[in-house]
Structure 1
C-alpha cells in the first residue's frame, strides 16, 4: 500500500546570525510498505515550488521503483506568492516610495510610513497610478513614463531568506531523521541517498554534498547555479545597491504606470558595520564552485554526479558550469555531464527548448536515470563525518552529530 506521511521536526537554527529558529521543518515521505526500499530519492524544489508540487512525482516513483521519496519544505521555501508569501513594504521600500514621489513633485493622501501590508499600500498605489495617468493625459508626463518602486515578500512561517546553508542542512536533517526512524523495510545490502533538483533545487543538492559528502550517493542536477557571481541578488538585499537592477523578480504591468521590483525578506545586508553583513566569507561558503573547497571535499567519499546544462542558459553560463564539472573530473569523481548546445538535441518530449532548465520534466529525468542508478553497487562511504572550509576570515565546520548536521563557525585569525 502506498503511504504518504508528513513530519514536523526541529532542525537547524541560524548559526551565522545567532538567531533561534521559530519554525519546525516540514517534510513528506512517500513509499510502498510492501516493498524493500533500495534508495531514498529526495526531490528538491527550486524557487517558487514546495512539496505540494511533487505529489504525482512521489507517487509515480514509489509505485514503479523500490524507493522512498522525500520532499522537504526547507527554510524559506514559502518565499513566493504561489507558495504563500505576502507582499509588504519594509523601511527601504517606504523610503524609495517617499523619495520617488518627491522627485516627481507628487503627493498622495496616504501616510507612507503606515503602509505595511498589500491591503494597506494597494489603494495608495492605485491612486498614484491614476494620478500619473492623468498627468500623462495632460502632457505633464511623457507617454512612456513609468514610476519604479520596490516591494518586499514576507515568507511563510515568519521566516526570512538565509539562502542556501539552512536550506541544505534542512534537507540533510530530514534525510538523517528518516534513516534513524525508518518506517519502511530497507534492503539488506544498504540504501542509497539520491538528490535530484532543477535550478535552485540542483544548487541545493550540490550544496548538500559540500556540507556532508558522506551522506549523498548520487546527485542529478538540471541547470544549477554554482556561484553567486550573478545570482547574489536573489538573496534579497540588492535594493540596497540598485533596486531596479538587482531585484529577485519584477512585475512590469501590475499597475499600468508603475514597475514593481520584488525582494525576498532577508536580514543579510551590504552594511559592513552590521552584524548581518553579507561578508566575502558568507558568499564563499555558499558557492559550490570554489577550487580550494572542492579540493577538501574531494578527499571524502563523493557521490556520482549527473548534470544537464544549456549553452543558452541566460542565468548560469555553460562555461561556469563546465569549470565546476572539470574540477570534479580532475579529482577522479564519477561525473556524467550532458551539454545541450544545439537545436538538434531538442526532441520535444525530454528536452523541449534551449533556455534555463530546457523544459526537462522532473518525472522523465528520474525515469531516465533511476533504473541504472539502482543497479549500480553501493559504494563504501566510511569516513570521518566532519568537514571544514576556510572562508576568508571564518572557518565553517559541518559535523554529523546525533543524527543531525551541526554547524560551527570560528574566526580564522
Structure 2
C-alpha cells in the first residue's frame, strides 16, 4: 500500500550568522509498505518550486520501483510569490522609492516612510503609475518610458535567504532522520541515497555531496550552477549594487509603467564593516567548483555523478560545467556527462529545447537513469564522517553527529 507521510523536525540553525532558527523543517516521504526498499530518492526542488510540484513524481517512483522518495521543503524554499512569499518594502526600497520620485519630479499624497506591506505601498505606486501614464498621454514623457522601483520578498515561515548551506544541511538532516526512523522495510545490505535536482535543485544535490560525501551515492543533476560568479544576485543583496540589474525577480504584473525589481530578504550584505558581510570565505564554501575543496572531497568515498547541460544555457555556461566535470574526473570521480550542443539532440519528449534545463521532465529524467542505478553495486562508504574546508580566513567543518549534520566555523 502506498504511504505518504509528512514530518516536521528541528534542523540546523544559522551557524554563520549566529541566528536561532524559528521554523521547523518539513519533508514528505512516499513509499510502498509492501516492498523492500533498495534506495531513498530525494527529489530536490529548484527556485520557484516546492514539494507540492513533485508529489506526483514521488507516487510514480514509489509505485514502479523499490524506492522510498523524499521531498524536502528546505530553508527559504518559499521565496517566490508562487510559493507563498510576500512582497514588501525595506529601508533601502523606501529610500529608492523616495529618491526616484524626486528624480522624475512627481509628488504623491503618501508618506513613503510608513509604507511596508504590499497592501500599504500598492495604492502609492498605483497613484504614481497613473501619474506617469498621464505624462505619457500629454507627451511629457517618452511613450516607452517605465520606472524601476525596488521591493523585497519575505519568504514563508519568516525565513530569509541564507543560500546553499542551510538548504543542503536540511536535505541531509531529512535523509539522516529517515535513515534512523525507517518507516519501511529496507533491503539487507544497505540502501542507496540518490539526489536528483534541476537548476538550483541540482546545485543543492552537488552541494550535499560536498558537505557530506559519505551520505550521497548518486547525484543526478540537470543544469546546475557550480559557482556564484553570475548568480550571487539571487542571495538577495543585489539591490546594494544595482537593483535594476541584480534583482531576483522583476515584473510588470502589478503596474503598467512601473517594473518592480524584487530581491530576497537576506541578512547577508556587501558592507565589509558588518557582521553579516558576505566575504570571500562565504562565497567559496558555497561553490561546488572549487579545485582545492574537490581535492579534499576526493579523499572520501564519493558518489557517482550524472549531469546534463546545454551549450546554449542562458544562466550557466557550458564551459564552467565542463571545468567542474573535468576536475571531478581528474580526481577519479565516476561521472556521466551529457552535453546538449545541437538541435539534432532535441527529440520533443525528453529534450525539448536548448535553453536552461532543456525542458527535461523530472519524471523522465528519473525514469531514464533509476533502473540502472538500482542495478549497480552499493559502494562501501565507511569513513570518518567529518570533513573540513579552508575558505580564505575561515575553516568550515561539517560533521555527522546525533543523526544530524553539525557545522562549525573557525577563523584561521
- TM-score range for the pair, normalised by the shorter chain length: over 0.9
Q: CA deviation at 1:253?
A: 5.2
Once residues 147 and 349 of structure 1 are traced to their aligned partners in structure 2, the CA distance between those partners, rounded to angstroms, is 41
Question: Which residue of structure 1 lines up, in the alignment, with residue 240 of structure 2?
Answer: 240
Q: Secondary structure at the match of 2:254?
A: strand
1:272-283 → structure 2 map (5 Å cutoff): 272-283=272-283
Aligned equivalent of 1:187: 187
Spell out the pairing of 1:294-373 with structure 2 (5 A cutoff). 294-373=294-373
2:257 aligned residue: 257
Distance in 2 separating the partners of 1:127 and 1:22: 37
CA drift of 1:254 comes to 3.2
* Counterpart check, 1:162 vs 2:149: no
Partner of 2:46: 46
Structure 2 distance, partners of 1:364, 1:133, is 48
1:137 and 2:137 equivalent? yes
2:98 match: 98
Q: Say which SS state the counterpart of residue 227 (structure 1) adopts.
A: coil
Secondary structure at the residue paired with 1:124? helix
Which segment is superposed worse, 252-261 or 111-120? Answer: 252-261
Aligned mates of 2:331, 2:28 — CA distance in 1 = 35
2:204 & 2:59 partners in 1: Cα distance? 23
Q: 1: CA distance between counterparts of 2:323 and 2:359? A: 23
Deviations 1:231-267 (A, max 9, x none): 0001110000000011112114531111111110000
Find the aligned partners of 2:355 and 2:145 in 1 and give their Cα distance. Answer: 31
The CA distance in 2 between the partners of 1:160 and 1:400, in whole Å, is 25
- Rounded Cα–Cα distance in structure 2 between residues aligned with 1:355 and 1:335: 22
The CA distance in 2 between the partners of 1:202 and 1:143, in whole Å, is: 42
Give 5+ residue unaligned stretches, structure 1.
none
Residue in structure 2 matched with residue 269 of structure 1 by the alignment: 269
Q: Which residue of 2 aligns with 1:205?
A: 205
Query: 1:301 and 1:249 mapped to 2: Cα distance?
Result: 39
Structure 1 residues 21-73: Cα deviation after superposition (integer angstroms, max 9, x where no partner):
00000000000000000000000000011111111000000000000000000
Shift of 1:139: 2.0
Structure 1 runs of 4+ with >2 Å offset: none
TM-score, length-scaled by structure 1: 0.99
Matches of 2:280 and 2:174 in 1, distance apart?
A: 29
CA offsets 1:138-171 (integer angstroms, 9 cap, x no match): 2221222111101110000000000000000000
| TM-score (norm: length of structure 2) | 0.99
> Counterpart of 2:3?
3
Give secondary structure in 2 for the equivalent of 1:219: strand
* Counterpart Cα distance in 2 of 1:323 and 1:178: 34
Cα separation, 2, equivalents of 1:189 and 1:57? 27
